[in-house]
A = this chain, B = another copy of it.
Amino acid sequence: MQTTQMLKGIIDGCILSIIQEGEVYGYELASKLDDYGFESFSEGTIYPILIRLQKDKLIQSTLKKSTAGPKRKYYSLTEKGEGELASFHMRWNQLSNTVNQILHKGE
């Protein structure tokens, strides 16, 4: 049981939340997640999630020139994505309350 194995599904919500703050592209997202403390997210994790989120119509993308390197694919939230993010907020609150209750029962 490692840190990263706890995150399944939660990353989706975090990614949606970061995208909501402003358009980002995958490569940038990887370093943002790293800054936040998610150290173990390689691009092999992030790109498939972005593709899945777009397939589910939660995010949309536009290509823009990079200052150095190939074109960047910038993502932004769709309306459906905003709804999903709001729903994730509630699920996360409930989850974290439940887990905290279990972990701190005896205190």
Q: In the assembled complex, how far is the CB of residue A60 from the closest CB belonging to chain B, in whole angstroms? A: 17
Fill in one digit per residue for A84-107: 1 if any B CB lies within 8 Å of its CB, else 0: 100011011011111111110110
Q: Does A3 contact B (CB under 8 A)?
A: yes
A92 to B37, CA, bound (A): 13
Chain A interface bracket (under 10, 10 to 19, 20 to 34, 35 or more): 20 to 34
Asked if B8 and A98 sit within 8 Å, CB to CB, the answer is: no
Q: Does A18 contact B (CB under 8 A)?
A: yes
Q: In the assembled complex, how far is the CB of residue A89 from the closest CB belonging to chain B, in whole angstroms? A: 6
Q: Does A7 contact B (CB under 8 A)?
A: yes
Contact of A8 among B5, B96, B101, B105 (CB under 8 A): B5
With a cutoff of 8 Å between Cβ atoms, the chain B residues found around residue A17 in the complex are 102-103, 105
Asked if A91 and B10 sit within 8 Å, CB to CB, the answer is: no
Asked if A1 and B88 sit within 8 Å, CB to CB, the answer is: yes
